[in-house]
Structure 1
Amino acid sequence: MASTAKQKGWNILVITSDEHNAKIMGCANHPIIRTPGLDRLASEGTLFTKAYCAYPICAPTRQSFITGQYPLEHGQLSNSHVFDKRNRTWAHHFKQHGYTTACIGKMHTNHESYEYGYDYRYSTEHIPQEIKTRKALNPPIFDPDDKLIFDSITDIRNGGKQPSRLQGKVVNDESLENDVIMLEEAIQYLKTHRSDKFFLHVSFVQPHWYWNTPEKYYYMYDPEQIDLPETVPGELESNAVVYKMAEKAGWFQNTEKMHRLARARYYGSISWMDSNVNRLLDTLDELGLKENTVVVYFSDHGDMAGEKGLWLKNQMYDSSSRVPLIIRMPGIVPEGEVNDMLINHVDLFPTLAGLAGALEHLPDHLSGEDLSDSIVSREDGKEARRAKKFTFSIQGLKSVDSVPQQVMARSENWKLIQYTHEEPEYRYVLYDMKNDPDETQNVAYEEHLCSVVQEHLTAIEQFLSGLRKPVYEVKLKEQTGTTLI
Structure 2
Amino acid sequence: MTARARNLLFLFSDQHAQRVAGCYGDPHVSTPALDRLAASGVRFDNAYCPSPICVASRMSMLTARHPSRQDCWTNDDHLASDIPTWLHALGAAGHRPELVGRLHAIGPDQTHGYAARQVGEHSPNWPGVPFHDLGALAGTNNPDPRSLAACGAGRSAYEAKDRDVTEAALATLDRIAEAGAPFCLTVGLMLPHAPYVAARRWIQHYLEVLPPPEIPADACDHPWIAWWRANRGIDDVPDRQSRLARAAYWGLVSTMDEMIGRILDRLRALGLDRDTLVVYASDHGDHAGERGLWWKHTLFDESAKVPMILSLPGVLPENAARDEVVSLIDLSQTMIEALGGAPLRGADGRSFWPLLTGASRDWDDTIFCEYCTDPVPDWTGGRAVQHRMVRQGRWKLHVYASDPPLLFDLETDPQERNDLSRDPRHAERFKRLMALALDGWDPVLIARRMAQRRAEKDVLAAWAGRVGPPSTHMWALDPDMNRLEADR
Q: Please tell me the TM-score bracket, short chain as reference.
A: 0.7 to 0.9
Tell me the residue number matched to 1:274: 257
Tell me the residue number matched to 2:486: none
2-structure distance, mates of 1:340, 1:404: 31
Q: 2:219 aligns with which of 216, 229, 235?
A: 235
Q: 1:31 aligns with which of 13, 27, 32?
A: 27
Tell me the residue number matched to 1:131: none
Trace 1:39-438 onto structure 2 (pairs within 5 A): 39-111=35-107, 114-124=110-120, 157=144, 163-164=146-147, 167-168=150-151, 170=153, 177-194=160-177, 195-222=180-207, 224-237=208-221, 239-358=222-341, 360=342, 362-377=343-358, 384-398=360-374, 405-422=386-403, 427-438=404-415
Q: Residues 294 and 217 from structure 1, CA distance in 2 versus in 1: closer, same or farther, beyond 3 angstroms?
A: same
> What letter corresponds to residue 203 of structure 1 in structure 2?
G
More displaced, 431-440 or 118-127? 118-127
Q: Is the 8 A contact 1:106 1:112 kept in 2?
A: no
Task: After TM superposition, give the deviation of residue 437 of structure 1 in Å.
Answer: 0.4
RMSD (CA atoms): 3.2
- Match of 2:265, SS state, is helix
- Match of 1:409, SS state, is strand
More displaced, 329-338 or 73-82? 73-82
* TM-score, normalisation: structure 2: 0.82
> What letter corresponds to residue 357 of structure 2 in structure 1?
V
Task: After TM superposition, give the deviation of residue 372 of structure 1 in Å.
Answer: 1.2
1-structure distance, mates of 2:390, 2:121: 38
Tell me the residue number matched to 2:478: none
Q: Residues 172 and 61 from structure 1, CA distance in 2 versus in 1: closer, same or farther, beyond 3 angstroms?
A: closer
* TM-score, normalisation: structure 1: 0.82
Q: Residues 174 and 60 from structure 1, CA distance in 2 versus in 1: closer, same or farther, beyond 3 angstroms?
A: closer
Task: After TM superposition, give the deviation of residue 342 of structure 1 in Å.
Answer: 0.8
More displaced, 205-214 or 21-30? 205-214
Q: Residues 168 and 409 from structure 1, CA distance in 2 versus in 1: closer, same or farther, beyond 3 angstroms?
A: same
Task: After TM superposition, give the deviation of residue 112 of structure 1 in Å.
Answer: 7.7
Q: Is the 8 A contact 1:141 1:169 kept in 2?
A: no
2-structure distance, mates of 1:121, 1:480: 26
Q: Residues 140 and 276 from structure 1, CA distance in 2 versus in 1: closer, same or farther, beyond 3 angstroms?
A: farther
2-structure distance, mates of 1:173, 1:394: 30
Residues 449-484 of structure 1 show CA distances to partners (whole Å, capped at 9, x for unaligned) of 10111121121133538xx999xx955362662779
Identical positions, percent: 27
- Match of 2:114, SS state, is coil
Q: Is the 8 A contact 2:28 2:209 kept in 1?
A: no
Q: Is the 8 A contact 1:302 1:321 kept in 2?
A: yes
Q: Residues 165 and 172 from structure 1, CA distance in 2 versus in 1: closer, same or farther, beyond 3 angstroms?
A: closer
> What letter corresponds to residue 301 of structure 2 in structure 1?
D
Task: After TM superposition, give the deviation of residue 356 of structure 1 in Å.
Answer: 2.4
> What letter corresponds to residue 364 of structure 2 in structure 1?
K
Q: Residues 480 and 429 from structure 1, CA distance in 2 versus in 1: closer, same or farther, beyond 3 angstroms?
A: farther
Q: Is the 8 A contact 1:112 1:125 kept in 2?
A: no
2-structure distance, mates of 1:306, 1:459: 31
Gaps of 5+ in 2: 124-131, 376-383, 475-488
2-structure distance, mates of 1:173, 1:51: 29
Task: After TM superposition, give the deviation of residue 363 of structure 1 in Å.
Answer: 2.6
2-structure distance, mates of 1:365, 1:228: 45
2-structure distance, mates of 1:36, 1:219: 19
Tell me the residue number matched to 1:460: 437
Q: Is the 8 A contact 2:156 2:195 kept in 1?
A: no
2-structure distance, mates of 1:113, 1:342: 32
- Match of 1:196, SS state, is coil
Aligned residue pairs, count: 438
Residues 246-281 of structure 1 show CA distances to partners (whole Å, capped at 9, x for unaligned) of 122221211333211110111000000011111111
More displaced, 439-448 or 40-49? 439-448
> What letter corresponds to residue 170 of structure 2 in structure 1?
I
Gaps of 5+ in 1: 128-135, 143-149, 379-383
2-structure distance, mates of 1:156, 1:272: 22
- Match of 1:416, SS state, is strand
1-structure distance, mates of 2:88, 2:36: 31
2-structure distance, mates of 1:386, 1:309: 38
1-structure distance, mates of 2:234, 2:153: 25
> What letter corresponds to residue 396 of structure 1 in structure 2?
C
More displaced, 57-66 or 84-93? 84-93
Q: Is the 8 A contact 2:103 2:121 kept in 1?
A: no
